[in-house]
Amino acid sequence: MIVYIVRRLMQAALVMVVMSILVFVGIYLIGDPVLMMISPDASELEREAVRKALHLDLPMWQQYLLFVNDALHGNFGKSFLAGQPAMGLIFERFPATLELAFMSLVISLALGLPMGVYAGLRPHAPGSKAIMTGSILGFSLPNFWVGLMLIMVFAVMLPDLIPGWPRLPASGRGATVDVLGVKLSFLTLDGLRHLLLPAITLSLYKGALIVRLARATAREVLPMDYVKFARAKGLSERRIVGVHVLKNIMIPIATVSGLEFGQTVAFAVVTETVFSWPGVGKLLIDSILLLDRPVVVAYLVIIVFFFVVLNLVVDLLYSVLDPRVRLESRAT
Amino acid sequence: MVKLGRRAAFAGALAFTGVAASGPSKAQSQELKIGIKTEPSSLDPQFHTLNPNIQVAQHFFDALVLQDENLKTKPGLALSWKTLDDTTWEFKLRPDVKFHDGSDFTAEDVVFTYERIPKVPNSPGPYTIYTRAMKSFEIVDPLTLRIHTNGPAPLLPLDLAALSILSKKAMQGPAPEGKTSAELNAGNGLVGTGPFKFVEWQRGSRIVGERNDNYWGGKPVWSKVILRPLSNNTARVAALLSGDVDMIEDPPTTDLAKLKNDPKIHLDRAVSNRVIYIHLDQHGEPSVGIPDTNGKNPLLDKRVREALSIAIDRKGIDDKIMEGVAVPAGDLLPYPMGGTRKDTAVDAYDPAKAKKLLADAGYPNGFHITLGAPNGRYINDLKIAQAVASMWSRIGVKTEVDAAAPPVFFKNRDSFKYSAYLAGWGASTGELSNALKALLATPDRPKGMGTTNSGRYSNKEMDAKLEQALVTNDDAEREGLLAEASKIAIQQDHGLIPIHFELSVWAMKKGLTYQGRADQNTLAIGVKPAA
């Protein structure tokens, strides 16, 4: 078990190194960060001074070694633009993104799982057909369009047309509460109202995925011998579905939810932009546009690490959900 | 913090039941929420010469000299100023001004502020560009300051307008620069004399200020100001329409028609100091983007440059692409800014004459050219470049647009990869020397001349006039010289082709008005409830 975890973490380290080299070379090739940041009124002398201060005057390989040296000391460099440690900037915004991703996961599971199981149990019922058709929309509608439509309907049109209709906020994060130094907004009513529209936008795709997955696995599991046996034993339908079927459905659902959660955290950029959500996605986009290399590198390192841990957690969950899965054998 | 959360939650609950949404209450009318386009990179007013930073700093700080909406100087923390001799300026400071912490404002604070600028580490855009001219300071008495300059520095008051005055007392700290940029970002030491006191900054989310009741310029209307970065155009408009914010800057041109017809929205606009122009390669032969002239560079011929200018239908671009948020330009700054002339003509659209000029220059069949442009730096930059390309093609200059993301565009431009490129320039000083120096002076980078003159236009006569203007202390005389220099470079030589000045637009709830500014800054102090 320990060997397995260590091996996975070593793989992660390798990926991080390769990725940091790619980002370094990529940004180096695109252009000069100083040109993007300095006032165009500045003279050549002043530009040189900035390049020197940010070590941009060195050859690329020296800049990279400087970075590696700092990174080994746990310091991923200071943002060119903000002059503050890149990691700090990212972690300051991480709770907002995690909160949003978590909320959308909860919504998609809470709605997707029952709907999918229902559709699996009664594949020919009109309700099931409606659910399956709806899930196609969930897959195919682009994120930013759904977000904009939700804003137009719930933040602008409905409250304008119907007096007294509650107006949902179109942008930003609501009031926050400090929990152990982390600012959380889902603990306040105002925060929840702000969370609602972006979380729904994000959960649509994931929800549709879960509906389809739950339906397919439910149909696969239902004809199994143990379900027939449970029926023969005279167990109630509730117990059969709630325990025996659901437990077996949960393995693929856990995998997909885990990976999708990672996807959402790393790339909620579009939704965050549409709703002006102060998360890391927006920070990443802004940093790429301004060639703020330390932030981009630090962000990607965190995300790679995050994905590796997430995959690990999913694998560990397997062994909890399905005792037949043994981690040692999968590691070889 | 928990307490604030609860109060906000309560306000949220009210909004949920529709009470708060039903109409403006008194408390609401004193709070102003503004959706800004770009978040500042730092709250340290000496860290990064970036417009979003300057605009936020102006809520909390003042400079000795302020600029009005047309960028003309007016008294700020200094009541008056004059030159004692060629290299000495004397500033009389405003008496009885208090910092937010109650301490007095004196010349000591000014000297501390200016001396801190070169000490700020890791600045990606240093403020030293504004302190170049300064040599030493002399405090005559607490309210009189003399600044000795390296040479004649007629533009010193304009430089000072960019420098927010910090409190020496509040800025004390162990670092060489006193309080560090990181400490200022956290609000530690962020003590100014400005109309609002700093409350909090949540990165990516909001910057909050509360009214400075003792503001020397009169008590501000708003008890609380919240600046929210809403970088996405659509999201910014949606936030205004849904009432999340009271006012936004720079609504996208595509939404202007809709906003104009919305009875709940009011628009204010102002001509900005930003000119969109096309620069032409006048360096030598051959020119990289012109393949079919047997190695000759047609852009060296003044007639060709004039033809390219009059081939552009500026009015068409402004009506159809800019939706009316631009005015045709014939100079680098709009009248009446310093050095501009009232009678400057805009090159009239005349494709027939353009064809004739091309033929006279020996290109009756035109030639091929590549027009470089950034995508996403200026309002509708790519669309303008495409329109210009089709207009040029109509007179026989077959034009292909090479658009790139801004970082790539700037790299290409600075390494002379374009024969023609479209770009923009906002002269922050609001007078012509700034733009002439950067865009048209013969490139001499160590001296800071022609730093953005990648077309490498050069005319000794114009250089001489400009250099003379830069050491002329008399305002009228200097502006006269600048007007002559600009006339030589643009009307006579067609050294670059001005297209238009961007208009800045602000959209707000009905019942508010904003005095639009030429520097495009959005300042809460300029927002007034309509009488």
Q: Which three-class secondary structure state does DSSP give residue B341?
A: coil
Which span out of A12-16, A224-228, B213-217, B445-449 was modeled with the highest average pLDDT?
B213-217
Average pLDDT over residues B351-361: 95
| B contacts of A295 (beta carbons < 8 Å) | none
B19 part of contact set with chain A, CB < 8 Å = no
For residue A135, count other CB atoms closer than 10 A to its CB.
Answer: 23
Q: Per the CB < 8 Å rule, is A81 touching B18? A: no
pLDDT, position A49:
83
A49 part of contact set with chain B, CB < 8 Å = yes
Whole-structure pTM value: 0.84
Report the gap between the CA of B477 and the closest CA in chain A (Å): 24
Closest listed residue to residue A291, CA positions, set A62, A37, A46, A93 = A37
For residue B366, count other CB atoms closer than 10 A to its CB.
Answer: 22
Q: Which three-class secondary structure state does DSSP give residue B219?
A: coil
| Cα angle, residue A322 at apex, residues A320 and A325 outer, rounded to 5° | 95
User: Measured between alpha carbons, how far is A16 from A5 in angstroms, rounded to an integer?
Assistant: 17
| B contacts of A31 (beta carbons < 8 Å) | 407-408, 410-411
- Its ipTM equals 0.79
Q: Which three-class secondary structure state does DSSP give residue A236?
A: coil
Token readout for B372 is 């470089």
Token readout for B291 is 């393949």
Q: Which three-class secondary structure state does DSSP give residue B77?
A: coil
Q: Which three-class secondary structure state does DSSP give residue B453?
A: coil
The DSSP string of B353-392 is HHHHHHHHTT-TT-EEEEEEEESSSSTTHHHHHHHHHHHH
B174 part of contact set with chain A, CB < 8 Å = no
The residue type found at B383 is: K
pLDDT band at B58 (very low <50, low <70, confident <90, very high): very high
Give residue-wise pLDDT tens across range B428-466: 888 999 999 999 999 987 788 888 899 999 999 999 999
Q: Per the CB < 8 Å rule, is B202 touching A278? A: yes
Scanning A104-133 for CB atoms below 8 A from B yields: none
Q: Could you tell me which chain A residue has the CA closest to the CA of B181?
A: A83
Q: Which three-class secondary structure state does DSSP give residue B40?
A: coil
pLDDT, position B5:
42
The stretches of B211-274 forming alpha helices (DSSP H) are 233-241, 256-261
Which span out of A279-283, B196-200, B343-347 was modeled with the highest average pLDDT?
B196-200
Average pLDDT over residues B221-244: 91
* Contact call for residues A144 and A274 (beta carbons, < 8 A): yes
A161 part of contact set with chain B, CB < 8 Å = no
State the DSSP H helix or E strand holding residue B509, giving kind and residue range, or none if neither: strand B496-509
Give residue-wise pLDDT tens across range A145-175: 999 899 989 888 888 888 888 888 888 888 8
Closest listed residue to residue A206, CA positions, set A129, A259, A249, A147 = A259
* Contact call for residues B136 and B82 (beta carbons, < 8 A): no
The residue type found at B367 is: F
| Cα angle, residue B497 at apex, residues B493 and B498 outer, rounded to 5° | 125
Token readout for A85 is 């440690």
Q: Per the CB < 8 Å rule, is B228 touching A93? A: no
Average pLDDT over residues B206-230: 94
pLDDT, position B232:
85
* Contact call for residues B200 and B187 (beta carbons, < 8 A): yes
User: Measured between alpha carbons, how far is B393 from B404 in angstroms, rounded to an integer?
Assistant: 21
Report the gap between the CA of B6 and the closest CA in chain A (Å): 7
User: Measured between alpha carbons, how far is B173 from B166 in angstroms, rounded to an integer?
Assistant: 13
pLDDT band at B234 (very low <50, low <70, confident <90, very high): confident
How crowded is the C-beta side of B362, counted as CA atoms within 13 Å? Answer: 9
Strand-pair partners of B78: B93
The residue type found at A301 is: V
Q: Check pLDDT > 50 for residue A299.
A: yes
Give residue-wise pLDDT tens across range B236-284: 999 999 889 999 999 998 899 899 999 999 999 999 999 999 999 999 8
Give residue-wise pLDDT tens across range A17-29: 888 888 888 888 8
Token readout for A93 is 């915004």
Token readout for B511 is 């019942």
Report the gap between the CA of A172 and the closest CA in chain B (Å): 6
Q: Could you tell me which chain A residue has the CA closest to the CA of B449?
A: A43
Q: Residue A323: exposed, middle, or buried by beta-carbon count in 10 A (0-12, 13-18, 19+)?
A: exposed
* Contact call for residues B309 and B497 (beta carbons, < 8 A): yes
A77 part of contact set with chain B, CB < 8 Å = no
State the DSSP H helix or E strand holding residue B267, giving kind and residue range, or none if neither: strand B265-280
Average pLDDT over residues B117-136: 91
Select from A162, A189, A272, A290 the residue whose CB has the most chain B CBs within 10 Å, as the one to mutate to test that interface.
A189
Average pLDDT over residues B299-315: 96
How crowded is the C-beta side of A175, counted as CA atoms within 13 Å? Answer: 18
Q: Check pLDDT > 90 for residue B348.
A: yes
Is the C-alpha dihedral spanning A271, A274, A275, A278 positive or negative?
A: positive
- CA B58 to centroid of chain Cα atoms: 14
The residue type found at A24 is: F
User: Measured between alpha carbons, how far is B97 from B217 in angstroms, rounded to an integer?
Assistant: 10
For residue A179, count other CB atoms closer than 10 A to its CB.
Answer: 11
pLDDT, position A332:
42
- CA B101 to centroid of chain Cα atoms: 31
Give residue-wise pLDDT tens across range A223-264: 888 888 888 888 888 888 888 888 888 888 888 888 888 888
User: Measured between alpha carbons, how far is B253 from B267 in angstroms, rounded to an integer?
Assistant: 12
Report the gap between the CA of A197 and the closest CA in chain B (Å): 13
Q: Residue A235: exposed, middle, or buried by beta-carbon count in 10 A (0-12, 13-18, 19+)?
A: middle
- CA B498 to centroid of chain Cα atoms: 17
Closest listed residue to residue A39, CA positions, set B448, B151, B92, B98 = B448
Closest listed residue to residue B453, CA positions, set B413, B494, B401 = B413
Q: Residue A133: exposed, middle, or buried by beta-carbon count in 10 A (0-12, 13-18, 19+)?
A: exposed
pLDDT band at B531 (very low <50, low <70, confident <90, very high): low
Largest pairwise CA distance in chain A: 87
pLDDT, position A328:
53
| Cα angle, residue B362 at apex, residues B360 and B366 outer, rounded to 5° | 100
Based on C-alpha coordinates, what's the Rg of chain B?
25
**Residue at token pair 């709770």:** A95
Q: Check pLDDT > 60 for residue B300.
A: yes
Q: Per the CB < 8 Å rule, is B12 touching A275? A: no
User: Measured between alpha carbons, how far is B371 from B199 in angstroms, rounded to an integer?
Assistant: 47
User: Measured between alpha carbons, how far is A104 from A191 in angstroms, rounded to an integer?
Assistant: 14
Closest listed residue to residue B271, CA positions, set B36, B506, B515, B501 = B501
Closest listed residue to residue B330, CA positions, set B350, B316, B310 = B310
In this structure, what are the phi and psi dihedrals at residue A188, rounded to the nearest 5 degrees?
-115, 155
Closest listed residue to residue B525, CA positions, set B131, B221, B133 = B221
Mean pLDDT of chain A: 84
Instruction: Determine if the peptide bond prior to B336 is cis (ω within 30°).
Output: yes
Q: Check pLDDT > 50 for residue B21.
A: no
Token readout for B73 is 């100087």
A274 part of contact set with chain B, CB < 8 Å = yes
Based on C-alpha coordinates, what's the Rg of chain A?
24
* Contact call for residues A278 and A93 (beta carbons, < 8 A): yes
Largest pairwise CA distance in chain B: 78
Give residue-wise pLDDT tens across range B489-519: 999 999 999 999 999 999 999 999 999 999 8
Closest listed residue to residue A258, CA positions, set A214, A301, A314 = A314
Q: At what angle do helices A280-289 and A86-121 cross, to 10 degrees?
A: 130
| Of the listed ranges A36-40, B173-177, B502-506, the one predicted with least confidence | A36-40
Mean pLDDT of chain B: 90
| Cα angle, residue A171 at apex, residues A170 and A175 outer, rounded to 5° | 110
User: Measured between alpha carbons, how far is A138 from B447 in angstroms, rounded to an integer?
Assistant: 60
How crowded is the C-beta side of B60, counted as CA atoms within 13 Å? Answer: 29
pLDDT, position B29:
55
pLDDT, position B11:
42
Which of B17, B21, B244 has its CB closest to that of A170? B244
Average pLDDT over residues A109-137: 90
* Contact call for residues B412 and B404 (beta carbons, < 8 A): yes
Give residue-wise pLDDT tens across range B398-423: 999 999 988 889 889 988 999 999 99
Q: Per the CB < 8 Å rule, is A155 touching B228? A: no
A86 part of contact set with chain B, CB < 8 Å = no
| A contacts of B4 (beta carbons < 8 Å) | 175
* Contact call for residues A50 and B125 (beta carbons, < 8 A): yes
| A contacts of B405 (beta carbons < 8 Å) | 30, 289
Token readout for B306 is 């004039």
